[in-house]
Amino acid sequence: MHRVYELDPAFRLKILPATPATPAAIEARIEEIWAEEKRRRGASLYDGRAYSLAERTQTLLSLRETDYRHLLAQRRDPELYAALGLRPVGVTGILICREGVVLGLRADHVAADAGLWEPAPAGGLDRPDPAAQLMEELAEELGVAPARVKPPLVRGLIEDTESHVLDILYRIETDMAEAELRAAQRAAGSDEYAELAVVAPSDLLGFLAARKDRLLPALRAMLRLGGLPPS
């Protein structure tokens, strides 16, 4: 399930004091999960800064700073939500090129949502500037320079009520053709996505139906919020 919230185009962020220290027993469980992930993924796993939503209005998102290992532990063990109460915040772009919308199949080695189709680019928020972070994700994941796209337009905030993850959703438009975009991804993009697809709006319903078991749970709602037609 998901919920969609309106965001004013001029919304701002307020950073609250860091999350209080967790009880020892909870911290031990977090460390257990983190150690297992480190054994599985090795040096590719990085414990960086992250943000959790504390309060929300249409014009203001109040966030608490936390760290990635807490977010990952809660994803791996949903029972930790009762103690941690984390609502991770990310950014997602509905990228429209000449031929259609860009979707990415998350690679098997990524920590979250592996093997699922999602809008590309996307990533967890690790700084108090979501639009700037989205442009960095665009460059890192797809190899596309921010100068090649129009300024991103805020479309709203969407929450996955099972994972408690919230995404600030933007619509991004570019005059790049599919072939140019794919060449940029091959030349300078990351291995975050095992596959890219550029789907014309008229083909979206068929594309999603054929992959219904491999879609990010909020994907259809994200596309609707981005101005595209899936029901």
Residues 119, 162 within the same domain = yes
| CA–CA gap between residue 169 and residue 166 (Å, rounded) | 9
| CA–CA gap between residue 103 and residue 113 (Å, rounded) | 14
Residues 80, 154 within the same domain = no
Residues 110, 214 within the same domain = yes
Domain membership of residue 37 (yes or no) is yes
Residue reference for tokens 């004013």: 8
Domain membership of residue 230 (yes or no) is no
Domain membership of residue 20 (yes or no) is yes
Domain membership of residue 23 (yes or no) is yes
**pLDDT of res. 46:** 85
Structural element, H or E, at residue 31: helix 24-41
Digit-coded pLDDT (tens) for 145-192: 999 999 999 999 999 999 999 999 999 999 999 999 999 999 999 999
Domain membership of residue 162 (yes or no) is yes
pTM, 2 dp: 0.95
Q: Of 43-47, 122-126, 169-173, 182-186, which gets the smallest average pLDDT? A: 43-47
Residues 36, 138 within the same domain = no
Residues 19, 72 within the same domain = yes
174 burial level (CB within 10 Å; 0-12, 13-18, 19+): middle
Domain membership of residue 1 (yes or no) is no
pLDDT band for position 112 (cuts 50, 70, 90): confident
Q: Domain boundary at 66, 84, 102, which?
A: 84
Residues 189, 168 within the same domain = yes
Quote the tokens at residue 123: 């990533």
Q: Domain boundary at 67, 84, 101, which?
A: 84
Domain CATH for 154: 3.90.79.10
Domain membership of residue 231 (yes or no) is no
Residues 96, 77 within the same domain = no
Q: Residue 229: is its pLDDT beyond 90?
A: no
230 burial level (CB within 10 Å; 0-12, 13-18, 19+): middle
Q: Domain boundary at 39, 67, 84, which?
A: 84
Residues 54, 116 within the same domain = no
Residues 216, 139 within the same domain = yes
Return the SS3 of 165. Answer: coil
Residues 195, 212 within the same domain = yes
- Measured CA to CA in angstroms, residue 6 lies from 29, 145, 192, 200, 224 at distances of 36, 28, 29, 26, 13
Handedness of CA 90, 45, 135, 100 (dihedral sign): negative
C-beta separation of 165 from 88 below 8 A? yes
pLDDT band for position 20 (cuts 50, 70, 90): confident
Number of domains in the chain: 2
The residue segments making up the domain with residue 162 are: 89-225
Q: Residue 42: is its pLDDT beyond 90?
A: no
CB hemisphere CA count around 153 (13 angstroms): 12
Residues 73, 96 within the same domain = no
Domain membership of residue 18 (yes or no) is yes
State what percent of residues in the chain have pLDDT above 70: 100
Mean pLDDT, residues 116-125: 97
Residues 80, 95 within the same domain = no
